[in-house]
Amino acid sequence: MAAGGPQRPRDAIGRRVRVPKMAELVASDLRQAIIRNTLAEGQALPPEAVLMGQYGVSRPTLREALRILEAESLITVRRGAGGGARVQSPNPAVAARYAGLVLEHRGTTVADVWDARLMLEPPTAAALARRRTKADLRALRVSLAEHAAATDQAQGVRLHNEFHTLVVNLAGNETLALLINLLGEIINRTTWTRVEADLGTPELERAERDTVRVHATLVDLVETGDAAGAQDLWRRHLGAGARYLGQGGRNEATLDLLGRPGELGAPLASGGWLAG
């Protein structure tokens, strides 16, 4: 017998197969319906009794399937009278949270995440300049005007980040948009305490005024089709944001998404914070 245990005979064709549990099969069917929009965002799932009859399963099996989907943030479940399960569309914030935990486990620094964003995001400004439409320019101008008119700093910071998201989304590549927005979510979570401390200060007020000017310049470059100029401006703008938020060596620190549980969701619930 060879070292390492018994070897499969040369003529063997079978192998050990794990049979999925019934709850996993039910969860898989519901998951497919959610991903393919057969079940829409906010739609209530049928009552337990109806689902049990449709799938031919017991209540414990059905509830196990629903727990699987709830853990994946594909449904929300309210317990008690008047409760039930409702559909949630896949959310990039969920992917960002898990990706952030993987990076934290690997000892990744904030600077490393910024470097990835600086590699990916500036080219989207160039792509937008090459493919812009009149509708794109209108959307950019509206977003810019809202930001310029903001009187509350927290609102201004939120609109700042929304403009970045708009640029990325208008660039036209769904995969790149997801990756960049995921990185932005991780940075937002990490830099929240710095931004919170600066709210109401002249330093943040100056930074926001400068940001509005840079965003206006980008819209002009996009409108004229200057792809190289747009990419260079966006690279420098993001670099300035990284330096501002990284003062005091913060960017050299390891990601810490678990150390401040009370704040973990605050930037995301507010639509994002200053990240470029």
Residues 6+ apart with CB under 8 A from 276: 117, 121, 161, 164, 184, 237, 238, 241, 242
- Is there a contact between 186 and 99 (Cβ–Cβ < 8 Å)? yes
Q: Which amino acid is at 212?
A: V
Q: What predicted TM-score, i.e. pTM, was given to this entire model? A: 0.79
Written as tens digits, the pLDDT of the chain (276 aa) is 455 555 656 666 777 878 889 999 999 999 999 999 999 999 999 999 999 999 999 999 999 999 999 999 999 998 777 778 999 999 888 889 899 999 999 999 999 999 999 999 999 999 999 999 999 999 999 999 999 999 888 888 889 999 999 999 999 999 999 999 999 999 988 887 778 888 888 888 888 889 999 999 999 999 999 999 999 999 999 999 999 888 888 899 899 887 554 343 344 333 443 445
Distance set, CA 102 to CA 127, 249, 257 (Å)? 30, 22, 10
- Is there a contact between 26 and 65 (Cβ–Cβ < 8 Å)? yes
Neighbours of 263 (CB within 10 A): 13
